[in-house]
Amino acid sequence: MRRISFVLAILGILILLVILVSQKPISISSYEELANLTANSKIITSGFVIQQTSYSIKLDNNLSLYCNNCPSCKNKNVSIIGIIEDYNNKKEINVLKIKIIR
């Protein structure tokens, strides 16, 4: 009986993991589009980096993104995949992946 419940629990976790990984990101191009999205939504955006600090990136389309250990991408076009989070009643985008576009 324990083995069956253990196998079912592992199977359930794997199914949830597959659903999470296969979620398609929502494309956004401005900060106003964030108002319609919920927290923990996966997004994709792109733009030209106009400002970069050690923990944030600002794009030319007025989006501010937060990340840890971001590669240097100032004055470059980038494509970014991130997750929306609510912090102090404000929507923020935490970066998961950055791709520099040539």
- Per-residue pLDDT tens digits for 47-87: 999 998 888 899 998 888 998 888 888 889 999 999 999 88
pLDDT in tens, 13-51: 999 989 877 878 889 988 888 888 888 889 999 999 999
- Residue 3: how many CB atoms within 10 A of its CB? 7
Q: Domain residues of the chain, as ranges? A: 25-101
Pick the CATH number of 25-101 from 3.40.50.720, 3.50.50.60, 2.40.50.200, 1.20.1250.20: 2.40.50.200
**Which residue did the predictor score with more confidence, 11 or 36?**
11
3-class DSSP state of 102: coil
Mark 54-75 as b/e (b = at least 16 C-beta within 10 Å).
eeebbbeeebebbbeebeebee
